[in-house]
Structure 1
C-alpha cells in the first residue's frame, strides 16, 4: 500500500492533542447516562471543554498514552524497535505511572492489578491479566500508529505487546493492533469512507497470526488449546464488532447515543468501534465528533479519547482550536512527542 502523508499536516501532534482533548471532554461525563449529561452540560453539540484552574484535566487514558510514548522513545533511542528493547522501558513507565501521585483519575482495575505485578522481577507475561479485555488495552496505543518508519510487523507487535503487559485477552491484543492500524492509516491519508473496510481486511489477514516474537508464551496462560485458537478468538470478536460498525456507519442517527449501535466501550473492541463511529459520523467536524463521543452512556472519556486520536490523525494539528489545545493538561509532553513523530 503506497500512502503519502501530507507534509504539513502534523498528524502526530493532531492525534495526541485530540486524544487528550477527548479524554478531558469525556472525563466529567463518564459513569453518567445521556439524560444526566444533557442536564449538566446542555445541548451536546455545544459542550464546552471543562476548565478548572485554567486547565483541562485528563484521565489515566492520556497519562498511560504518554507512558507508552516515553517507552517507545527510550526503546528507539537504543536502536531498532524490537520486543525486548521495547518491553523493558514500557514496563518501567507503566510502573512509574502506577506509583505516581497523579495516578488519581479513576484508573481501571486491570491496569492497577497488572502494574502492581509488573513492579517485580517476574516475566511480564505472568503479570498480564489474561482474561481482561478492558479498553485500557487500546486507549493508550495511538503513539505506535504515529511513529514513522516502522514495519507492519513492528507496529502490530508493539501494539499487541503494550496491551499484553496489562490486558492479555486475545481480543484486547487484536483491538489494540486495529486501533494503532486505524491511527496509522488516517495519518497516512486514507479516506475515512474506506477505513472500516481496510480494517476488516487487515483483521482477516492477521486472524491466524500469533506474534510469538513479541508476545512469547503469553497464550499459554489462557485456557485455549493452541496459540492459533487463542489469537483467532480475539480477531473474531473484533471482526464481529467491525461488521456491526460497517453496517451502521452511513445510516446511524447522529442524535442517538452511538453506544446504541456499537456498544458502551468498556471493553476494547467496543471502544474501538464506538470511537470510530463518532469520528466517522463527523469526519470533517472534529469538535462535533468529540462532543458526540463525550455525550454517551458508556466509557465516555475513552471513547472520546479514541475519537480525538482518529480525528487528529486524519485532519492534523489544525483540527483543534488554539484555546482548547493550549489549555489541555500535559500539553508540553504531548507537543514534544508530536514534534518527534510529525514528518
Structure 2
C-alpha cells in the first residue's frame, strides 16, 4: 500500500503530483496571490491520473458490500492505493480510457479541425479492437464492450456493432480525454463524446451521460467553481436536450426504432438530468459517511455513475484524495465511480492533486503521460485554485 501524503525523496517533480505544489507555492509568495496555470499545474495529466488512481482504488473494492469493505479496510479514509511489485493495477476503465486517448491523438494528427466522425470512428475502432485483443484485457471487462468490440473487429458498421439497449457505465467511464483535448469546438466535443459511447452502447442515456460527463470535466478544467458545477451541467443538458448530432451518430436513432431522433436523444437527457436532481437533493444535507451508491445509484449504468462521481467530488472539492477514497469505498460499480470522480477532481485541482508516489506507481503511466502532457500546453489560462485560495484572473467557463 502507498500512503497519503507522500514523502518522495529527491528533487524530481512528477507532473500531476503533490510535489509540484511546492513550486506553485513559490509563485504564490512572489505574486501575492493564489492561482494556477495549466502549463505549470498539468490539468489534463492530473485528470487522467485521477481517473487511473480512482480506478486502481476501486478495482479491488468492486463487488464488495459495505460490511465486507469495513471488515477489510476499516473506514473509507483508511483506503490506500493497492500496489504490488511497484505497480498499481487498473481495470478495463483505464485501459479503455487509454484507447480513447490514443484514438484522439491519432485523429488529431493534422490538427483538431480534422477531428470529425470520419476520422474519429476508425481511430476508435482500431484502438477498441486492440484493447479487445490485448493480453491485459483480463480485468473484468463489461459484456457490452466485449460484444460490441468483437463486432467492430468483424468490420460491420458501428451502428450494427453497438448494443442498442445498453446504457452501462462503460459508455462514459472512458470519455474524460474528449474533454481534455484542447481546441475542440463545443460541437466536436459533444459529437466525439457521444460517438465514442455509441460504438459500444446505443441507448440514448449512454450518449447523453457521456456528453455530460465530458462537459463536467471540461468545465472543471476551465475555471468552473465547484459550487457552479451542478447549475452549469443542468443548463447544458437542458440546452442540448433535443439536439441529435446526426453528423456523428448517423441513423442510430432509426436503428433503435425511434421515428424522431430529437425525441430519442431527449429521453437520454431526461434520465441523465433526473440523476443530477438526486445529487442536488442529497447535497442539501450532505453525509460523507453515507454510501454514495445509496445516494445516487449503484453506478452500473451511465447516468448513475456520473451522478455518484459528481456527488463524491462535491462532498470534498478541495480534497481530491478524499474524493476517490469515498467513491471507491462504495457498494456499487466502485472502480467506474471512483475513476470518474478522480477525473473530475484532477481536472479541478490540477497538478497538486495526487501524491507523487501514487502517480509513479500507476500502471500505463509511461504510455499516458507522453500523449496527454502536450494537451496541457494547449491550455495556458490561469485557473481557480479552490475555496480560500482566491480566484484566478481570467474568465470562467
**Partner in structure 2 of residue 63 of structure 1:** 95
**1:245 matched to which residue of 2?**
279
Aligned equivalent of 2:252? 218
Query: What residue in structure 1 maps to residue 50 of structure 2?
Result: 18
How far apart are residue 9 of structure 1 and its match?
Answer: 2.4
Match of 1:205 among 236, 239, 253: 239
Q: Quick one: which of 147, 154, 159 aligns to 1:120?
A: 154
1:318 aligns with 2:344: no
The 8 Å contact of residues 241 and 270 in structure 1, kept in 2 or not, is answered as yes
1:77 is paired with a residue of what secondary structure?
Answer: coil
Matched, 1:287 2:321: yes
- SS of the residue corresponding to residue 108 of structure 2 reads helix
Q: CA deviation at 1:229?
A: 1.5
In the other structure, the counterpart of 2:12 is none
Report the CA distance between 1:250 and its aligned residue. 4.2
* Pairing partner for 1:341 from 348, 361, 375: 375
Q: What is the match of residue 84 of structure 2?
A: 52
- Partner Cα separation in structure 2 for residue 27 and residue 21 of structure 1: 10
Secondary structure of the corresponding residue to residue 291 of structure 2: coil
Q: Distance in 2 between matches of 1:239 and 1:216?
A: 24
Matched, 1:39 2:71: yes
Question: Residue in 1 aligned with 2:212?
Answer: 178
> Residues 18-53 of structure 1: CA distance to partner in whole angstroms, max 9, x if unpaired?
000000000000001111011111221011111111
> Alignment partner of 1:136: what SS?
helix
CA–CA distance in structure 1, aligned partners of residues 91 and 38 of structure 2: 31
Deviations 1:168-212 (A, max 9, x none): 100000000000000000001100111011000000000010000
**Are the equivalent residues in 1 in contact too, given 2:253–2:259 (CA < 8 A)?**
no
Partners of 2:91 and 2:39 in 1: how far apart? 31
2:148 partner SS: helix
- Secondary structure at the aligned position of 1:253 is classed as coil
Work out the CA distance in 2 between the residues paired with 1:271 and 1:61: 12
Please state how far the C-alpha of 1:114 moved relative to its aligned partner: 0.2
1:161 to 2:195 alignment? yes
Secondary structure of 1:236's counterpart equals helix
Partner of 2:109: 77
* 2:86–2:361 CA contact under 8 A, matched in 1: yes
Do residues 141 (structure 1) and 141 (structure 2) align? no
Partner SS state of residue 195, structure 2: helix
Whether contact under 8 Å (1:141, 1:179) holds in the other structure is yes
Cα shift at 1:130: 0.8
- Partners in 2 of 1:322 and 1:7 — Cα distance? 18
Runs of 4+ aligned residues of structure 1 deviating over 6 Å after TM superposition are: none
> Which residue in 1 is equivalent to 2:304?
270
Is residue 2:230 matched to residue 1:196?
yes
Aligned-pair distance for 1:6? 4.6
Residue ranges of structure 2 left out of the alignment (5+ in a row): 1-35, 380-397
Q: What is the distance in 1 between the residues matched to 2:247 and 2:124? A: 17
The alpha-carbon deviation at position 163 of structure 1 amounts to: 0.2
8 Å CA contact retained: 1:5, 1:189: no
Separation of aligned partners in 2, 1:82 and 1:55: 36
- The answer as to 2:240 corresponding to 1:230 is no
Tell me the alpha carbon deviations over residues 100-151 of structure 1, each in whole angstroms, 9 at most, x when there is no partner: 1000000000000000000122111110111000000000000010011110
1:255 aligns with 2:294: no
Unaligned stretches of 5+ in structure 1? none
Separation in 2 of the partners of 1:266 and 1:340? 33
Q: Deviation digits for residues 229-276 of structure 1, max 9, x if unmatched?
A: 211110000111111112222422000101111101000000000011
Please point out which of 130, 145, 148 is paired with 1:111.
145
Answer with 1 or 2: which has the greater Rg.
2
Name the residue aligned to 1:327: 361
